[in-house]
Amino acid sequence: MLEAKAKGMIRHIGITNHRLKVATDAAESGLYETIQFPFSYLATVKEIELVKLCKKNDIGFIAMKALSGGLITNFTATYAYLAQYDNVLPIWGIQRKSELDEFLSYDDNPPALNEELTSIIEQDRNALSEDFCRGCGYCMPCPVGIEIPTAARMSLMLKRAPLSVCLSDEWKAKMEKVNNCIHCNQCKDHCPYGLDTPKLLKKNWEDYKRYM
């Protein structure tokens, strides 16, 4: 990439990653202008340290999964939280035009991170323990066709996404596929968050059955 840059073929070099160690090494290497990494108000202390390291080293931080793949539903709180970090540019991952309009309106009138929003953030942090699936999809494909990024978060989605979608016939059939897991551990070996994915899938399937 440096050769291509020297020849004028590219102008900027950035990196995207889900692994904290890789991203931290990249931030310390002096080789990258931007780092794209998952970052939301559910971030751990170490992830916040990465943002600060990027600022110190003059690296732009592109926050992916700023809504944590649909688990964060309070847009005002997430905008106010991320706005604290002036080297962070979020990729919101919106689904509807109304959501785009809401975020654009915050660019004109930024919400303050007040007591009410801070309390919402705290509640979400308490509800979502550190071992939740981020929906990154690095574990895919599954040899028996389980849609892991959604199936491994179904318990959370049931509380946060429209029930008409979660409990549709389509999703009942998809969740049932968890029974077909052959425990090859391919998903577990590829998960950048070190999750025990097959165990998490089983737990989500049990919750789903109870819910139904």
Does 197 bind ligand SF4 (CB under 6 A)? Our answer is yes
Among 50, 181, 204, 205, binds ligand SF4 (CB under 6 A): 181
Dihedral sign for Cα atoms in the order 52, 22, 37, 32: positive
The angle that helices 115-127 and 75-82 make with each other, rounded to 10 degrees, is 100
Shortest CB 153 distance to ligand SF4, Å: 7
CA atoms of 175 and 46, how far apart (whole Å):
33
Cβ-based nearer residue to ligand SF4, 113 or 200: 200
Taking CB under 6 A as the binding criterion, the range among 50-58, 78-86, 182-190, 204-212 that sits at the site for ligand SF4 is 182-190
Q: Which residues pair with 63 in a beta bridge?
A: 37, 90
DSSP assignment letter at 38: E
**Which strand (E) or helix (H) includes residue 15?**
strand 14-16
Residues between 98 and 137 with contacts to ligand SF4, criterion CB under 6 A: 133-137
Q: Residue 64 or 80: which CB sits closer to ligand SF4? A: 64
Residue numbers at the binding site for ligand SF4 (CB under 6 A): 133-139, 142-144, 146, 148-149, 152, 181-187, 190-191, 193, 195, 197-198, 201
